Amino acid sequence: MGNLFYIWVIVALLFVLLEIGHPGLFLFLSFALGALVTAFSAVYSDSLMSQCVIFLLASIGALVVLMKWVKKTIDKEHAYQHTNTQALVGRKALVIKDIYVDMPGEVKIGGELWMARALHDHYIPAETQVIVVQVRGAHVVVMPVE
């Protein structure tokens, strides 16, 4: 093994240290993997030009593989979640104050009181379980749970 083998191993370790200092990028990790592949190719080839080409190709290949793996992992773990008022849609609520055709009532959703209107302009009496189907301004639109 020539001196280039050890140089590429040191380069790989430096890239690993850079990755530890900048987690989440995976850019330096792909360079570290490319340097390790190049270190093993240095055993068979003394040409610095061919080693640089191998380093470049291995780093690009490692970056592509890592990015696909990270994207697949993130998509699997973090499904789209609604936030703010859109998170209310689909939740069950309890009518606290009657909802009339021409006058909103009140519902309790997770401990919070909201002004509410009926979906099809129906009367909904108090103590009825409803489900939120839409958020319209400061009001929620509800319909009885069947």
Quick: pLDDT tens for 15-65.
Answer: 999 999 887 767 899 999 999 999 999 999 889 999 999 999 999 999 999
**First-to-final CA distance of the chain:** 76
**What's at 59, amino acid-wise?**
S
Quick: pLDDT tens for 104-138.
Answer: 999 999 889 999 999 988 899 999 999 999 999 88
The topology under which CATH files domain 84-144 is OB fold (Dihydrolipoamide Acetyltransferase, E2P) (2.40.50)
| Rg, the chain, Cα only | 30
Q: Where in the chain is the domain with CATH 2.40.50.140?
A: 84-144
Contact at 8 Å (CB) between 87 and 109?
no
Q: How far apart are CA 137 and CA 146, in angstroms?
A: 26
**What's at 137, amino acid-wise?**
G
Confidence (pTM): 0.52
Region label for 71, one of left (φ > 0), alpha (ψ between -120 and 50) or beta (otherwise): alpha
